Amino acid sequence: MMTRRLFVRGSAIVMAGIGAAPSWLARAAEGARGKRKTLVAIFQRGAADSLNVVVPFSEKRYYELRPTIGIAAPSGQNSGPAQNSAIDLDGRFGLHPQLQPLKAFWDKGQLAIVEATGSPDPSRSHFDAQDYMESGTPGKTSGDGWLNRALLPAGPETSPVRAIAMGAQLPRTLRGDRAAIAVNDMQSFQVGNQDTSSILESMYAGSADSRLERTGKDAFAAMKMIRSITQGPNNPPGNQQYFQGGELGRSLQQVARLIKADVGVEAAFAEVGGWDHHGNEPGQLANLLRQFGQALSAFCQDMGDRMDDIVLVTMSEFGRTAQENGNNGTDHGHGGAMMVLGGPVRGGKIYGRWPGLATEQLYEGRDLAVTTDFRAVLSELVAGHLGQTNLAQVFPGFTPGDRLGLLRS
Amino acid sequence: MRRTALLALASALCLAYANKKSADEARQFLKQIPNNEKITQALNRLTFGPRPGDAEQVRSQGLKKWIDLQLHPERIPENPVLAEKLKTLDTLTMSAEQLVQNYPTPQIVKQMVAGQMPFPTDPDRRMMIEKLVAKAEKKQGQAEQANPDAPEAQPLADLLPREQIRTLRTGTPEQRMAAFQALTKDRQADVIAALPAGMRQGLFQFAPPELRRRIELANGPQQVVARDLMEGKLLRAIYSNRQLDEVLADFWFNHFNVFLDKGADRYLVTAYEREAIRPHVLGKFKDLLEATAKSPAMLFYLDNWQSVGPDAPQLRGAVPKKGKRGLNENYGRELLELHTLGVDGGYTQRDVTEVARCFTGWTINQPQRGGTFAFNRRTHDNGEKVVLGVTIPAGGGMADGEKVLDIVAHHPSTARFISRKLAQRFVADEPPPALVERMAQTFLKSDGDLREVMRTMLDSKEAWSEGAYRSKMKSPLEMVTSAVRAVNGNVDFAFALANQVAQLGQPLYRKQEPTGYSNSSKEWVNSAGLLARMNFALQLANDKVPGVKVDTAAGMTLGSPEFQKK
The residues, ordered by sequence, that sit 6+ positions from B89 with a Cβ below 8 Å of its Cβ are: B228, B231, B232, B235
Residues of chain B with pLDDT > 70, as a percent, come to 91
Poorest-pLDDT segment among A178-192, A286-300, B265-279: A178-192
Mean pLDDT of chain A: 88
State the pLDDT at residue A142: 76
The residues, ordered by sequence, that sit 6+ positions from B91 with a Cβ below 8 Å of its Cβ are: B99, B102, B103, B224, B225, B228, B229, B270
**Identity of the residue in B337, B531, B565 whose CB atom sits nearest the CB atom of A219:** B531
- Whole-angstrom CA distances from A63 to A51, A58, B421, B536, B538 are 11, 9, 44, 53, 59
CB atoms near residue B456 (< 10 Å): 22
Q: Choose between A362 and A2: higher pLDDT.
A: A362
Q: What DSSP assignment string belongs to B63-87?
A: HHHHHHHHT-GGGSPPPHHHHHHHT
Q: Kindly report, residue by residue over B71-123, the tens digit of the pLDDT.
A: 999 999 999 999 999 999 999 999 999 999 999 888 888 888 888 888 888 88
Q: Kindly report, residue by residue over B286-312, the tens digit of the pLDDT.
A: 999 999 999 999 999 999 999 999 878
CA distance A129 to B111: 44
Mean pLDDT of chain B: 89
Residue B38 has pLDDT above 70, yes or no: yes
Taking each helix axis from N to C end, the angle separating B209-219 and B221-239, rounded to the nearest 10 degrees, works out to: 140
The residues, ordered by sequence, that sit 6+ positions from A284 with a Cβ below 8 Å of its Cβ are: A274, A277
Nearest residue to A131 via CA among A182, A175, A180: A175
A327 to B320: CB separation less than 8 angstroms, yes or no: no
State the pLDDT at residue B128: 78
Q: How far is B449 from chain A (nearest CA, A)?
A: 28
Poorest-pLDDT segment among A92-106, A328-342, A351-365, B298-312: B298-312
Residue A89 has pLDDT above 70, yes or no: yes
Q: Which residues of B touch A207 (CB under 8 A)?
A: 561-562
Which residue on chain A is closest to B556 by alpha carbon? A200
Q: Kindly report, residue by residue over A5-63, the tens digit of the pLDDT.
A: 333 333 333 333 334 455 555 555 555 444 589 999 999 999 999 999 999 999 999 99
Q: Choose between A147 and A237: higher pLDDT.
A: A147
State the pLDDT at residue B270: 98
Instruction: Count, in order, helices (H) and strands (E) of chain B.
Output: 29, 6
Q: Kindly report, residue by residue over B399-411, the tens digit of the pLDDT.
A: 999 999 999 999 9
Q: Which residues of A touch B323 (CB under 8 A)?
A: 68-69, 324, 326-328
Poorest-pLDDT segment among A110-114, B363-367, B446-450: B363-367
A203 to B328: CB separation less than 8 angstroms, yes or no: no
State the pLDDT at residue B6: 56
Q: Kindly report, residue by residue over A267-304, the tens digit of the pLDDT.
A: 999 999 999 999 999 999 999 999 999 999 999 999 99
Cβ of A183 under 8 Å from any chain B Cβ? yes
**Identity of the residue in B7, B345, B565 whose CB atom sits nearest the CB atom of A209:** B565
Q: Is the dihedral of CA B121, B124, B127, B129 positive or negative?
A: negative
Alpha-carbon dihedral angle through residues B497, B503, B506, B509, given to the nearest 10 degrees? 60
CA distance A34 to A32: 7
pTM reported for the whole predicted model: 0.79
Q: Kindly report, residue by residue over B486-540, the tens digit of the pLDDT.
A: 999 999 999 999 999 998 889 999 998 898 999 988 788 888 889 889 999 999 9
Q: Is the dihedral of CA B198, B200, B204, B206 positive or negative?
A: positive
Residue B151 has pLDDT above 50, yes or no: no
